A and B are shown apart, each in its own frame.
Chain A
Amino acid sequence: GAVVSQHPSRVICKSGTSVKIECRSLDFQATTMFWYRQFPKQSLMLMATSNEGSKATYEQGVEKDKFLINHASLTLSTLTVTSAHPEDSSFYICSASTVPGNYGYTFGSGTRLTVV
């Protein structure tokens, strides 16, 4: 079945530094990838949608200059948290769809980011 690999699973960084999270589709080509954020004991909130070869679409309230998304190939999307602050500490999880309309099945294992 379709597998999405997300790395790293955990990362601790210092305030003011940048962190890159990778989301790879291992055995399929992902035309669209989604990035979600989940604060402790809360729900998953969609941050942005990325389509291969085009700019990401950000949800309202998500700073696109802070959360840089690159979907340069059909198997890789990256989320870079720039100038991280403690309030960016969260669980970030990606999801991928194989073709339009075929979505919701496959999520990465998530990245727990702690900014100190």
Chain B
Amino acid sequence: AQKVTQAQTEISVVEKEDVTLDCVYETRDTTYYLFWYKQPPSGELVFLIRRNSFDEQNEISGRYSWNFQKSTSSFNFTITASQVVDSAVYFCALGRNRDDKIIFGKGTRLHILP
């Protein structure tokens, strides 16, 4: 079965704090993809990162960083020095290589308080 679990439903932090969003996935595929998306209140889905199952290197992009650990089936997302504009719902997702379907987690609603 393919599944993405985002255990944190809602998180609130004060601006400038670091925050980590957790993502745990389940799959029997050996080749798969992992994604993170941001969905601001306006609703559009903003692509943040795509990772394939063979690339476990951590990624840093500005204030964003991702930690992919196959041993624990986790793909966590950290925002450093959070800003109010980071407030949104963040989705972790799992993509299947064989048919390109993407399965989304339930999302984590992040509130950055000024």
Contacts and interface: CB of A to CB of B under 8 A. Distances in A.
Interface of A: 32, 34, 41-46, 49, 91, 93, 95, 97, 100-101, 103-110, 112
Given A103-B95, A110-B44, A46 B100 contact: no
Nearest to B44: A109
B45 A104 contact: no
A56 to B, nearest CB: 13
B45 A93 contact: yes
A104 B47 contact: yes
B102 A46 contact: yes
Interface residues of B, number: 23
Given A104-B95, A107-B47, A43 B106 contact: yes
A49 B104 contact: no
B43 A104 contact: no
Given A103-B95, A104-B93, A104-B95, A46 B45 contact: no
Contacts of B28: none
